[in-house]
Structure 1
Amino acid sequence: MKNRAGFDSALTALAPMVWGSTYLVTTELLPPDRPLLAAAVRALPGGLILTAVGRTLPHGRWWWRASVLGALNIGGFFYLLFVAAYHLPGGVASLVGSVQPVLVLVLSALLLHEAVRGWHVAACLLGVAGVGLLVVGPKADLDAVGVLAGVSAAACMASGIVLTKRWGRPPGVGLLTFTGWQLAVGGLLLTPVALLGEDLPARLTWQNAAGFAYLGFIGAFLAYAVWFRGIERLPALTVSLLGFASPLAATLLGYVFLNQGLTVVQGAGAVTVVAAVLLVQRPPVRKDRRCHDINQVKEQTSYDRVP
């Protein structure tokens, strides 16, 4: 079971690691200054393809549930994330977004009735501190709109994680179809906003096409399927803290491909982030195991008292 949980965590961490490559792909391959268009193209085509291949549409209450999850996990999250990115330096935006595990911890206690342990809180604080060391430079300007958007984006994703965990998937619906519903909803919400807020590029190069294809197929299609699989199999807080792999991957990719410096402080931040992720992997003590151990002690005590 421990090996299985480790495999599930490692596989799930691939999703935020892929998302961490978004900055590199956007700056090097996509048309400039069109983040909302990139988000819409990233979500909508893959969502429609997965839904069409699955040949299953939501039914009953899953119409509104899929809409809520798609808005939280994809549409609203992407939009607010880009608003935060426009108003804040990248490091500050990442730091504001790192409150997400704290929100997941609170929502899990309220909606999933999960107990809050001391090491849960410690892992959240370690993660936030690690992201701070990793991404925040000395010139960290704050902007009220950006901070509000960043916290709202974190709240969207945190709510999406917990509600996905609470509702699960409808019976008989595959993981890829379930992923397609949410991507399609998010893409349909983002597309009109992108068309109204941004001009379409005059021409697309093969480089642009490759960037859009990467974001749509790898960054959305595969990454979100892996992410939702992880939500099904792992505790909500564990999944949320694995999201710290995104700024970690972004920093390392910037160092490797963009010749961005990597300081000792950033190295310490990377180690701290990894420590937070490893801390939350600690398996909970099962109640039935504790009861079994207590009964064994009682039986042994009774046996020892027999004359």
Structure 2
Amino acid sequence: MLSNRFALLLVTALAPAVWGTTYLVTTELLPPGRPLLAAAIRALPAGLLLVAVTRRLPSGVWWWRSLVLGTLNIGAFFALLFVAAYRLPGGVAATVGSVQPLIAAGLSAALLGTRLSARTAIAGVAGVAGVSLLVLRAGARLDGLGVAAAAGGAVVMATGVVLSKRWTSPAPLLATTGWQLVAGGLLLLPAALFVEGPPPAHLTSGNLTGYAYLAIIGAAVSYALWFRGIRALPATDVTFLGLLSPLVATVLGWLVLGQDLTPMQALGGVVVLASLVMAQTGRKPTPPAARPRPHDPVLTTTTTTSTR
């Protein structure tokens, strides 16, 4: 049981690790100044592809639930991230966003009946401290609207994760992932056109490669793994894995872009990893009666989508 849980954690961790590559791909391959367009292209084509592959549309309450979850997990989150990124230094935005596990822990206690342990709270605070050491720079300026947007992004993403845990769809995992990506993409597309104008008239092969990577790997694959983890693991455990994104982004900046890696940043990376380990260990095993049965949708979708 422990080995299965560890494997699920590792597979789910691939999603935020992939998201940590977004900064590198965006700066090196995509047209400058088009983050909302990148977000829309990342979400909408990937969602349409998954819907076409699974040939499943929402039914009943899942029409509005998909819209709510797609807005929280993708549409509103990306839009708020865009505002925060433009009004704040990246380190400040990442540090504010790192409070997401603590918010998810509180929402899990309120909506899912999960006990908020001292261990989780300490791990959450340690995660914020680690990300601060990793990415925050001295003299970073603060902007009220930017901080509010970064905090709002953490809130909507944490809420989306908890509601995704509360609302488990009977449909295949890839189908529900596609529904959310389409909903988020449809929200982002008009915002991108209004804020950034029409797409560039000419796209290079590098631009197309970057957009393809974000849509296929950065959205279709990674979000399927992410939502799979949400179905099978406690919501708080999943949100802690999001701390891997700034860690991966920092390491890639050092390895690929030749950016400096200071001793304090290295210490921050160690603290982030320690907070992840603390959050994932010391949890009491789930009672046998509460574990999914072989015919449960959660277990079925988990085992049938492992090739993704």
TM-score, normalised relative to structure 1: 0.92
Mapping for residues 88-237 of structure 1, pairs under 5 Å:
88-169=88-169, 171=170, 173-199=171-197, 200-237=199-236
- The residue type paired with residue 76 of structure 1 is A
What is aligned with 1:293?
none
| Superposed displacement of residue 114, structure 1 | 0.4
What is aligned with 1:32?
32
What is aligned with 2:266?
267
Q: Distance in 1 between matches of 2:145 and 2:233?
A: 34
Deviations 1:3-23 (A, max 9, x none): 111111111111001001000
Q: Distance in 2 between matches of 1:8 and 1:141?
A: 39
Q: Distance in 1 between matches of 2:247 and 2:142?
A: 22
Q: Distance in 1 between matches of 2:90 and 2:49?
A: 32
Asked which structure has the greater CA Rg, the reply is 1
Mapping for residues 13-92 of structure 1, pairs under 5 Å:
13-92=13-92
What is aligned with 1:238?
237
| Superposed displacement of residue 251, structure 1 | 0.1
Q: Distance in 2 between matches of 1:125 and 1:258?
A: 30
- The residue type paired with residue 222 of structure 1 is V
| Superposed displacement of residue 53, structure 1 | 1.7
Range moving further from structure 2, 197-206 or 60-69: 197-206
| Superposed displacement of residue 196, structure 1 | 1.1
| Superposed displacement of residue 287, structure 1 | 8.2
What is aligned with 2:305?
none
Q: Distance in 1 between matches of 2:201 and 2:173?
A: 37
What is aligned with 1:305?
none
Structure 1 residue runs of 4+, over 2 Å off? 283-289
Q: Distance in 2 between matches of 1:160 and 1:39?
A: 17
CA RMSD of aligned residues (A): 1.1
Q: Distance in 1 between matches of 2:286 and 2:234?
A: 16
Deviations 1:81-105 (A, max 9, x none): 0100000000000001011111101
Percent identity (aligned): 56
Report the count of equivalent residues.
287
Q: Distance in 1 between matches of 2:154 and 2:271?
A: 20
Deviations 1:119-168 (A, max 9, x none): 01111011000000000011211000000000000011000000000111
Range moving further from structure 2, 197-206 or 209-218: 197-206
| Superposed displacement of residue 282, structure 1 | 1.3
- The residue type paired with residue 251 of structure 1 is T
TM-score, normalised relative to structure 2: 0.91
- Is 1:248 the counterpart of 2:251? The answer is no
Task: Decide whether aligned partners of structure 1 residues 287 and 51 sit closer, same or farther in structure 2, where only a CA change above 3 A counts.
Answer: closer
- The residue type paired with residue 147 of structure 2 is V
